[in-house]
Amino acid sequence: MPSSTALTRRPIDRRASYWLYLLPLAAGFIIVVAAPFVMNVYTSLFHWKGGQAPMRWAGLENYIALFSDDTFWRSFQNTLAMIVAITVVPTIIGILLAALLFDYLGRRFGDKAIAVLRATYYVPQILPIAVAGFIWAWILDTQNGSINLALKGLGIMSPPDWLGNPDIAIYAVMLMLIWLQIGYPVVIFMSALQRVDPELYEAAELDGAGWWRRFQAITIPQIRPEIFVVVLTATIAALKVFAPILILTGGGPEESTTVPSYYAYRNFFELSRVGYGSTIATVMSIVIFVVATVMLVWQHRENRKELS
């Protein structure tokens, strides 16, 4: 799509003709994202079994039903657990590991050793989630799981039923997600640390600041923008978690590990309640947009405060 030279010569159209370059993506966006999303919202206003079945107007009935749906609230509560497992814990461990590798070990044991360690932490991130799910379902298995066999080897004769006990399953899922996630903050924070001026650390050391003090006073404030990015992207990922639940627990036992995306999936493809599934998906989207907007606005304000 060459932009015509005739257009570039006319000053009024100068900016406008750039729209041609945006056109392919814009068209694709309408077909793949905007239209489907609008249809999803529309469907959420109907009782519908999907396919050729008749669509019965429901108005806001699905939304009202959602409010008193225990499973939905349960799934929402589990989302908080997902945020802990994907955002909170990996970010904290990630900062500590990154600082340990970069600032502490890097100076003493060389870059190569550090690069290998970092790569090892990161591998779960590039793994197909289906594969990761299978491995963990098997590791956590009650009878033949490696964890329980190891525990038995240590003399614990009745190890926990990781994925079968409704009180424990969510923690087992969280464990897997922490493992999956950790590499991401480590890599981001390590690269963030590279742009910190070493003189800051030198000056602090001159003043007699120990490692922990330097960590608090230099490392954390210096990599704040990256911490923000990690928290934002991880939180959105936590609100969307699906595959690990499908593969590890199927939402069970007794719905103890159901998350909104999995609950929507069940309504769509197992319970034939497409209208209701669309309602869940719409509410999920709204929550994600609101959370993201609040976080972005908040970050914007923080940045301003720092400048003034």
Select the residue interacting with another protein from 95, 239, 258, 276 (CB under 8 A).
239
Q: How far is the CB of 165 from another protein (least distance, A)?
A: 20
Q: What is the CA radius of gyration of the chain?
A: 25
Interface positions, 59-88, toward another protein (CB under 8 A): none
Q: Return the number of the residue (29 or 73) whose C-beta is nearest another protein.
A: 29
**Contact between 101 and another protein per CB under 8 A:** yes
- For 115, half-sphere exposure in the C-beta direction (CA atoms, 13 angstrom radius) is 3
Q: How far is the CB of 53 from another protein (least distance, A)?
A: 13
Stretch that binds another protein, among 54-62, 71-79, 190-198, 214-222 (CB under 8 A): 190-198
Q: Return the number of the residue (46 or 170) whose C-beta is nearest another protein.
A: 46
- The Cα 102–Cα 91 span in angstroms is 16
Q: How far is the CB of 166 from another protein (least distance, A)?
A: 20
**Contact between 22 and another protein per CB under 8 A:** yes
Stretch that binds another protein, among 52-60, 67-75, 78-86, 235-243 (CB under 8 A): 235-243
Q: Return the number of the residue (269 or 298) whose C-beta is nearest another protein.
A: 269
**Contact between 264 and another protein per CB under 8 A:** yes
Stretch that binds another protein, among 52-60, 66-74, 111-119, 212-220 (CB under 8 A): 111-119
**Contact between 122 and another protein per CB under 8 A:** yes
**Contact between 119 and another protein per CB under 8 A:** yes
